[in-house]
Amino acid sequence: EIKVMNPFSTSLRISIITGTPEKISLNLYDIGGRKALPVRNIESANGESIIFMNCTSISPGLYILKIISPSISYETRVVKSE
């Protein structure tokens, strides 16, 4: 289960429940497909994670969030507001 705070302003909150410990990669791209932030890799120790991505360095607009792990392949559009 994945829950993404959308729209967001300075920080993007993502809740991920996989049920088992695993490595998770989070990628944020602008609408043109360019990486908006460096790749964020986390280890979900107990199968549940809440991640806050600092988004103060990116401009307001539409972005694509991709989350990848052994059990997840997830993509969604997110909006950064002013």
- Residue 38 contacts residue 74 (beta carbons within 8 Å): no
Residue found by looking up tokens 């809740």 in the block? 15
pTM above threshold 0.85: yes
Q: How far apart are the first and last CA of the chain?
A: 28
What pLDDT score does 28 carry? 97
What pLDDT score does 15 carry? 94
> pLDDT for 21-75, tens place per residue?
999 999 999 999 999 999 999 998 888 899 999 999 999 999 999 999 999 999 9
What pLDDT score does 44 carry? 86
